């Protein structure tokens, strides 16, 4: 474990070389008995957590990462049971201790934070009571003292006005605040080990950043160890000292974070990193094709032999399928017969040059590690960047021909043109209740989408991006403004015309399972759009459905099955096939890959790009995930509280953001570059999203903006040429000849002081 200490980057490095591990899992097996068969969720898991260390446990869904956490805490679901191995905590095996003792250890010496802060808090109990409950149970603390201690711990987790919050109920707090309460609850007994199971997955990126920083700070303050369980490699990269990668109920690789991300050894880890959208975006902004891991994880209720990743591995040999592989020894352990050579250049080897430039004399946040080494290459590509979406011309035309066609005829009439779109919802109200006002979901949004183009819409939850999607496909009627589809305002369409309008634009859902009638077989599901639009006869429809299945890469056998028989990625393919059935020209994807694992996400993103190229589709790609949008979109619009704050070519928006909110969003996204300094620098926005019921006047971001001035109380118009921004003090001027000029940070540095000088 000395190796891990050498590589520990955080300031107060735990100096425990030679001490015994705080927690050690030895050959842990966990089974879950289900109605049909037993799932061997964990199979021989070995893990060590040193005191004061952050261990990141990363894996896709079903890899056993959550089951590991639950096994340690003894919180397995019904039917779940630890069947073998040891859970040694502070040198004692929890499995052999008496139940009472174990309960006390788990209650006092360990704390757990769950994914969803809403369901992990009791809605009928006041915050203070819940936070202090462990104290009252385990330490017999009295009522008054419990309240004092609750206020104290809430203050330490950064809760504003803790003496008032203690008397509130969970529903009165936002998601981020609730997660702080959950953390306070876990910490109230000053545990030695904090287990955080996807603590930020349900939160927005800017909130996620706050919570991760909080856990980091508290770890040092309390001197505890942390197990950070997550599916997000970026979260791990920025925060963990050591990482354990899990696959199909086993640990396949563990190493110090820097080491693991610099040179992953196991082929699964390598593939996982190549499947990340950010790894496919080259420094010059061009897009490579994502590596997608074929197939699905194995069914853990069946007996498995050999390496469990073998069926999906590029480097598989006959030996892999038959030989049981155990973790190698040493600081960097892996269970792979044909590992990546140790000296191989990492797929994401941008760390070294990036770190100094990020630190260099107050370089503005935009100089994130991607732009810095890219600056040399960028001006070349940038000369052509005046035209919208020009950057793919530098890429292989085969990958992004759609954008290429947009360049070829820049005057092409937009397929979709949204003008001054407004949508208000009445808040509350009912038959005898007075309406509480109006929720301003979308407030004057205008943008255009050209044929064959991908327009990315980014923003945090509640910013109105999904509402725009629903308005565009005609599921909602706008309060004001126009949606012009192919030259026709859809509000003017009635009856038959309106029905035909739906052929032009289709919606793709986040959760395809929810978007399919569970009682309909796939053939009926795919036939439905054709039936509604009365396309062809039965035979023609069958032929069309067969073509669709081929296009999305599913076999014909899928036709006779019900939606519940498919995995998430397959369902998303079926969903895409259904959207394509009517041969639309525009598909609105509302978070189409957000529910998928990284490797499956790559499959779906590749498919969407391939089909775009093949069919000349235009996409409106709605997502909260900036890296996915960056990968998919030609142009990006950033939304905040119902308004579009910035629109421009994807590369410019992401690498040379002009609006402070965009920059904060970019800085908050955890990158797979294991650089703790970078993870903490940049614009961090504080506070909570204001209510859309009563949005701030003028610039809606001004209440959280670090550069806000008096003038921000007046509304800034969306101005600029290709790269527009709605800000009185844009971070940098719109780049003209040199798109990449901002990479060295000079314009931005000028922009910031000028904003301060105006004060």
Partner 1 sequence: MTTLSTAANAQPDTGAPTPGEAAEAPLRGMWRQGLIVFCENRLALVGLGLFVLLAGFCFLGPLFYHTDQVHTDLTQVHLAPGEQGHPLGTDGVGYDQLGRMMLGGQTSIVVGLAAGLLATALGTIWGAVAGFVGGWVDAAMMRVVDAMMSIPSLFLFMLLAAIVTPSVPMLILIIGAFAWLGPARLVRGEALTLRSREYVQAMRAMGGTGARAVRRHIVPNAIGTVIVNATFQVADAILYVAYLSFLGLGVPPPAANWGGMLSDGLADAYSGHWWLLYPPGIAIILIVLACNFIGDGLRDAFEVRLRRR
- Give me the residue label for tokens 């100089």: 367
Q: Is 582 in the site for partner 1 (CB under 8 A)?
A: yes
Least separation, in Å, of the C-beta of 434 and partner 1?
14
556 part of the interface to partner 1, by CB under 8 A: no
Tokens 């054709």 correspond to what residue? 530
Q: What angle do CA 511, 517, 521 make, to 5 degrees?
A: 110
Query: Per rule CB under 8 A, is residue 499 in the interface with partner 1?
Result: yes
Using CB under 8 A as the binding rule, whether residue 34 contacts partner 1 is answered as: no
> With CB under 8 A, what is the number of residues at the site for partner 1?
33
| Long-range Cβ contact pairs of 213-217 (< 8 A, separation 24 or more) | 213/680, 214/157, 214/158, 214/180, 214/183, 215/183, 215/239, 216/10, 216/54
- For 28, the token pair is 């842990």
Comparing CB distances to partner 1, the nearer of 489 and 565 is 565
Contact characters 372-411, partner 1, x per CB under 8 A: ----------------------------------------
With 0-12 / 13-18 / 19 or more C-beta atoms within 10 angstroms meaning exposed / middle / buried, residue 329 is exposed
Nearer to partner 1, 497 or 677 (CB): 497
Nearer to partner 1, 98 or 518 (CB): 518
Residues 199/211, Cβ–Cβ less than 8 Å: yes
Q: Which stretch binds partner 1 (CB under 8 A): 145-153, 283-291, 510-518, 597-605?
A: 510-518
Distance CA 631, CA 621 (A): 11
Residue 519 interacts with partner 1 (CB under 8 A): yes or no:
yes
Strand order in the sheet with 480-485: 438-449, 416-426, 480-485, 488-489
From the list 135-143, 341-349, 391-399, 511-519, the region that binds partner 1 by CB under 8 A is 511-519
Smaller CB separation from partner 1, 491 or 520: 520
Q: Which ranges of 56-116 would DSSP assign to H, the alpha helix?
A: 65-73, 99-104
Give the nearest distance from C-beta 544 to partner 1 in angstroms. 14
Task: Give least dist CB 444 to partner 1, A.
Answer: 24
**Stretch near partner 1 under the rule CB under 8 A, chosen from 115-123, 153-161, 322-330, 502-510:** 502-510
Per-residue x/- marks for partner 1, 424-463, CB under 8 A? ------xxx-------------------------------
Applying CB under 8 A, among 116, 283, 511, 715 the residue interacting with partner 1 is: 511
What is the Cα–Cα distance from 577 to 607, expressed in whole angstroms? 11
Nearer to partner 1 among residue 117 and residue 529 (C-beta): 529
Pick the binder of partner 1 from 261, 291, 509, 640 (CB under 8 A): 509
3-state secondary structure of 213: helix
Quote the crossing angle between the two packed helices 598-615 and 568-580, to the nearest 10°: 20
Contact range with partner 1 by CB under 8 A, out of 20-28, 242-250, 341-349, 468-476: 468-476
Sketch the per residue contact string, 260 through 299, with partner 1: x for CB under 8 A, - otherwise.
----------------------------------------
Task: Choose, by CB under 8 A, the member of 129, 315, 425, 562 that binds partner 1.
Answer: 562
Q: Where are the alpha helices (DSSP H) in 581-625?
A: 598-615
503, 551, 594, 688: residue in contact with partner 1 (rule CB under 8 A): 503
**Is residue 500 within the footprint of partner 1 (CB under 8 A)?**
yes
- The reply to whether 486 sits near partner 1 by the rule CB under 8 A is no
CB of 522 to partner 1, least distance (A): 13
Q: Can you tell me which of 171, 434, 494, 564 binds partner 1, judged by CB under 8 A?
A: 564
- Across the beta sheet with 80-89, the strand order is 38-49, 23-33, 80-89, 92-93
Contact between 528 and partner 1 per CB under 8 A: yes
498 sits near partner 1 (criterion: CB under 8 A): yes
Please say which residue, 326 or 517, places its beta carbon nearer to partner 1: 517
Identify which range of 15-23, 329-337, 559-567, 692-700 contacts partner 1 by CB under 8 A: 559-567
**49 beta partners:** 23
The strand pairing partners of 333, in sequence order, are: 254
Pick 415 or 708: Cβ nearer partner 1: 415
Q: Which of 212, 184, 186 is nearest to 75 (CA)?
A: 186
Least Cβ distance, residue 581 to partner 1 (angstroms): 8
Least spacing, CB of residue 636 vs partner 1, in Å: 24
Beta-sheet pairing, 80-89 with 92-93 = antiparallel
Contacts of 237 (CB under 8 A, 6+ apart): 257, 261, 670, 671, 672, 673, 674, 675, 679
Q: Smaller CB distance to partner 1: residue 396 or 565?
A: 565
Strand intervals (E) in 459-583 = 480-485, 488-489, 505-508
CB of 562 to partner 1, least distance (A): 5
With the CA atoms of 302, 307, 309 and 313 taken in that order, what torsion angle do they form, in degrees rounded to the nearest 10?
-130
Question: Do residues 400 and 454 touch, judged by C-beta distance below 8 A?
Answer: no
HEC readout, 7-22: CCCCCCCCCCCCCCCC
Smallest separation, CB 54 to partner 1 (Å): 38
Give 136: exposed, middle or buried? Use CB within 10 Å, 0-12, 13-18, 19+: middle
Question: Under a CB-based contact definition with an 8 Å cutoff, are residues 117 and 174 in contact?
Answer: no
CA distance 512 to 510: 6
Q: Give yes or no for residue 578 binding partner 1 (CB under 8 A).
A: yes
Cα(723)–Cα(460) distance, rounded to whole angstroms? 21
Candidate ranges 52-60, 524-532, 605-613, 658-666; the one touching partner 1 (CB under 8 A): 524-532
Length of the chain counted residue by residue: 759
Of the ranges 19-27, 174-182, 515-523, 711-719, which one interacts with partner 1 (CB under 8 A)? 515-523
CB of 511 to partner 1, least distance (A): 7
Query: Which of 97, 316, 427, 501 forms a contact with partner 1 (CB under 8 A)?
Result: 501
Site for partner 1 (CB under 8 A): which residue of 174, 446, 479, 533? 533
| Contact yes or no for 415/485 (Cβ under 8 A) | yes
Stretches 396-404, 459-467, 504-512, 548-556: which one binds partner 1 (CB under 8 A)?
504-512
Give the interface segment with partner 1, choosing from 193-201, 498-506, 633-641, 676-684 (CB under 8 A): 498-506
* Cα gap 300→439, rounded to integer Å: 47
Does residue number 573 form part of the binding site for partner 1 (CB under 8 A)? Answer: no
| Exposure string for 527-563, b = 16+ CB within 10 A, e = fewer | bbbbeeeebeeeeebbebbeebbebbebeeebbeeeb
Using CB under 8 A, which of the segments 66-74, 174-182, 336-344, 495-503 binds partner 1?
495-503
Written in H, E and C, the secondary structure of 381-439 is HHCCCCCCCCHHHHCCCCCCHHHHHHHHCCCCCCCEEEEEEEEEEECCCCCCCCCCCEE
**Minimum distance of partner 1 from residue 532's CB (angstroms):** 5
Task: Among 407, 515, 546, 684, indicate the residue that binds partner 1 (CB under 8 A).
Answer: 515
Q: Decide if residue 543 touches partner 1 (CB under 8 A).
A: no
CA 56 to chain centre: 17
CB of 498 to partner 1, least distance (A): 7
Indicate which single residue of 54, 208, 263, 506 sits in contact with partner 1 (rule: CB under 8 A). 506
Cβ distance to partner 1 smaller for residue 439 or 731: 439
473 lies in the site for partner 1, by CB under 8 A: yes
- Residues at the site binding partner 1, with contacts judged by CB under 8 A: 430-432, 473-475, 498-503, 506-507, 509, 511, 514-520, 528-529, 532-533, 561-562, 564-565, 578, 582
């Amino acid at each position: 474990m000395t190796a891990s200490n050498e590589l520990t980057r955080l300031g107060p490095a735990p100096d425990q070389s030679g001490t015994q591990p705080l927690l050690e899992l030895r050959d842990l097996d966990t089974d879950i008995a289900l109605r049909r068969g037993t799932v061997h969720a964990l199979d021989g898991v070995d893990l060590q957590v040193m005191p004061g260390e952050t261990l990141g446990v990363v894996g896709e869904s079903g890899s056993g990462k959550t089951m590991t956490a639950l096994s340690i805490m003894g919180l397995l679901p019904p039917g779940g049971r630890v069947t073998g191995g040891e859970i040694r905590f502070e040198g004692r095996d929890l499995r052999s201790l008496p139940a009472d003792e174990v309960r006390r250890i788990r209650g006092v010496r360990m704390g757990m934070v769950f994914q969803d802060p809403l369901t992990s808090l009791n809605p009928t109990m006041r915050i203070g009571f819940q936070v202090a409950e462990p104290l009252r149970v385990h330490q017999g603390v009295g009522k008054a003292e419990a309240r004092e201690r609750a206020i104290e711990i809430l203050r330490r987790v950064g809760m504003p006005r803790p003496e008032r919050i203690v008397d509130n109920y969970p529903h009165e707090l936002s998601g981020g605040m609730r997660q702080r309460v959950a953390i306070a609850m876990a910490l109230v007994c000053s545990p030695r080990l904090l287990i955080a199971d996807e603590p930020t997955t349900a939160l927005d990126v800017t909130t996620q950043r706050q919570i991760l920083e909080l856990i980091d700070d508290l770890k040092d303050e309390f001197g505890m160890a942390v197990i950070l369980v997550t599916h997000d490699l970026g979260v791990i990269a920025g925060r963990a000292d050591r990482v354990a990668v899990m696959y199909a109920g086993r640990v396949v690789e563990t190493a110090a974070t820097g080491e693991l991300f610099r040179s992953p050894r196991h082929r699964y880890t390598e593939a996982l990193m190549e499947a990340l959208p950010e790894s496919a975006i080259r420094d010059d902004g061009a897009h490579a094709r994502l590596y997608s891991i074929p197939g699905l994880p194995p069914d853990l209720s069946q007996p498995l032999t050999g390496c469990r990743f073998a069926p999906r591995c590029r480097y598989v040999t006959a030996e892999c399928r038959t030989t049981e592989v155990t973790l190698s020894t040493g600081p960097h352990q892996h269970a792979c017969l044909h590992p990546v050579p140790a000296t191989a250049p990492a797929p994401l080897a941008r760390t070294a040059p990036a770190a100094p430039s990020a630190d260099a004399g107050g370089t503005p946040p935009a100089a994130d590690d991607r732009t810095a080494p890219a600056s040399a290459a960028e001006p070349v590509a940038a000369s052509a960047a005046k035209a919208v979406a020009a950057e793919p011309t530098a890429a292989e035309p085969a990958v992004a021909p759609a954008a290429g066609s947009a360049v070829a005829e820049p005057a092409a009439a937009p397929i979709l043109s949204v003008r001054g779109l407004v949508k208000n919802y009445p808040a509350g109200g009912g038959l005898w209740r007075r309406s509480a006002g109006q929720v301003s979901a979308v407030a004057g949004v205008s943008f255009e989408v050209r044929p064959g183009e991908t327009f990315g819409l980014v923003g945090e939850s509640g910013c109105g991006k999904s509402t725009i999607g629903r308005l565009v496909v005609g599921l909602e009627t706008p309060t004001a403004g126009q949606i012009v589809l192919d030259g026709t305002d859809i509000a003017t369409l009635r009856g038959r015309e309106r029905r035909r309008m739906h052929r032009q634009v289709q919606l793709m859902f986040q959760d395809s399972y929810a978007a399919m009638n569970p009682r309909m077989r796939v053939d009926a599901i795919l036939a439905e759009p054709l039936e509604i639009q009365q396309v062809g006869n039965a035979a023609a429809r069958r032929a069309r459905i067969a073509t669709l299945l081929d296009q999305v890469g599913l076999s014909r056998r899928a036709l006779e099955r019900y939606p519940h028989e498919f995995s998430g990625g397959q369902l998303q393919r079926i969903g895409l096939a259904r959207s394509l059935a009517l041969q639309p020209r525009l598909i609105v994807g509302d978070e189409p890959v957000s529910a998928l694992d990284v490797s499956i996400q790559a499959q779906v993103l590749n498919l969407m790009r391939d089909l775009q190229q093949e069919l000349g589709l235009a996409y409106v790609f709605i997502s909260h995930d900036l890296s996915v949008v960056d990968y998919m979109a030609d142009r990006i619009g950033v939304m905040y509280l119902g308004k579009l704050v910035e629109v421009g070519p994807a590369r410019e928006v992401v690498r040379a953001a002009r609006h402070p909110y965009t920059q904060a969003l970019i800085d908050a996204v955890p990158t797979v570059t294991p650089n703790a300094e970078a993870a903490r620098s940049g614009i961090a926005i504080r506070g909570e999203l204001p209510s859309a019921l009563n949005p701030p006047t003028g610039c809606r971001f001004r209440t959280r903006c670090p550069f806000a001035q008096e003038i921000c109380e007046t509304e800034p118009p969306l101005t600029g040429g290709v790269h527009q921004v709605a800000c009185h003090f844009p971070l940098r001027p719109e780049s003209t000849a040199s798109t990449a000029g901002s990479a060295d940070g000079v314009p931005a540095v000028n922009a910031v002081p000028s904003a301060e000088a105006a004060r």
